[in-house]
């Protein structure tokens, strides 16, 4: 996919990414403790902005290609890029993906999780569990000498094995001082195909998995992507780097 150059980060830069990634993980964890029936997605967004500023960081989504808020909040059939809204109140049984991307000293930490609101249906819980496992299966095949296609193949096999579909038109991405950089990282594909993985590459793995069709629609707001059949979608995301002997997850609080 693409012939653009993939930037390899130095160990000094990877350390900056570790610090940004740690902050992103802490922010996501903090917002997760607030998720409960009755809270609005606007309140989550406000807290994210306040927390981010208090930690000396900035919210990359705010103003990014005109995105109006500091985080993305994608509820139920929303695949990604949901916009926090005062009128959107979480209800018992919802699932919500919160996607945060603070920048610290110019470096981005991009991570998301799908949280359960109260007690969702067994069907919804299963989707969320399988989607998280999809992300880890994608991460666990990353190694120098491997290929980008190995990641999508591992994710697609596991998702489709559960009867789910993999979203095609949103992909993982290179990241560093730039939010969205080469390479593109599809969450479907063929093992042994695509760009070769090299130490110092940094990118996200962020599978979006649907119960029904993988096809999406975009709302009139220009951002909110939802499933064409309005069935549920879940997503998990980590920022990772290829190391000399495998992979390191950067968006962890360690
Ligand atoms: N964090 C999202 C991603 O994983 C991107 C959000 S861009 C925004 O790539 F503009 F919608 F915020
Ligand atoms: Co991302
Ligand atoms: Co993200």
Domain parsing of the chain, residue ranges? 11-249
What's the pLDDT score for residue 106? 98
**Alpha helix (H) ranges present in 94-217?**
122-140, 148-161
Over residues 67-113, the pLDDT tens digits come to: 999 999 999 999 999 999 999 999 999 999 999 999 999 999 999 99
What's the pLDDT score for residue 254? 83
CA distance 128 to 74: 13
Is the domain covering 11-249 a CATH 3.90.230.10 domain? yes
Over residues 107-122, the pLDDT tens digits come to: 999 999 999 999 999 9
CA distance 247 to 145: 12
189 lines ligand 1 (CB under 6 A): no
CA distance 73 to 44: 9
CA distance 21 to 176: 10
Cβ neighbourhood burial of 114 (10 Å; 0-12, 13-18, 19+): buried
45 lines ligand 1 (CB under 6 A): no
Task: Name the phi and psi angles at 166, rounded to 5.
Answer: -105, 125
- Which atom of ligand 1 is nearest the CA belonging to 110? 1
- Taking alpha carbons only, the member of 88, 76, 26, 33 closest to residue 52 is 26
CA distance 3 to 182: 9
Q: Tell which one of 72, 109, 175 to mutate to probe ligand 1, the residue whose CB is within 8 A of the most ligand atoms.
A: 72
Ligand nearest to the CA of 172: 2
């Amino acid at each position: 996919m693409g012939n653009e150059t993939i930037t390899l980060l130095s160990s000094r830069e990877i350390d900056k990414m570790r610090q940004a990634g740690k902050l992103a993980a802490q922010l996501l964890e903090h917002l997760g403790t607030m998720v409960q029936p009755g809270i609005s997605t606007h309140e989550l967004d406000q807290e994210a902005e306040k927390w981010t500023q208090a930690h000396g960081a900035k919210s990359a989504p705010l103003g990014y290609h005109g995105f109006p808020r500091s985080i993305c909040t994608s509820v139920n059939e929303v695949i990604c890029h949901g916009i926090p809204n005062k009128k959107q109140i979480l209800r018992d049984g919802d699932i919500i993906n919160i996607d945060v991307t603070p920048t610290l000293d110019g470096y981005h930490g991009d991570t998301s999780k799908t949280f359960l609101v109260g007690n969702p249906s067994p069907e919804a819980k299963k989707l969320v569990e399988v989607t998280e496992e999809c992300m880890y299966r994608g991460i666990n095949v990353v190694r120098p000498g491997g290929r980008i296609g190995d990641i999508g193949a591992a994710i697609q096999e596991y998702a489709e094995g559960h009867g789910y579909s993999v979203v095609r038109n949103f992909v993982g991405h290179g990241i560093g001082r730039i939010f969205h950089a080469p390479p593109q990282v599809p969450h479907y594909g063929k093992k042994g195909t695509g760009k070769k993985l090299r130490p110092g590459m940094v990118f996200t793995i962020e599978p979006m998995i649907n119960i029904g069709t993988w096809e999406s629609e975009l709302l009139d707001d220009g951002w909110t992507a939802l499933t064409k059949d309005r069935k549920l979608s879940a997503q998990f995301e980590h920022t990772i780097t290829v190391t000399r002997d495998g992979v390191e997850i950067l968006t962890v609080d360690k």
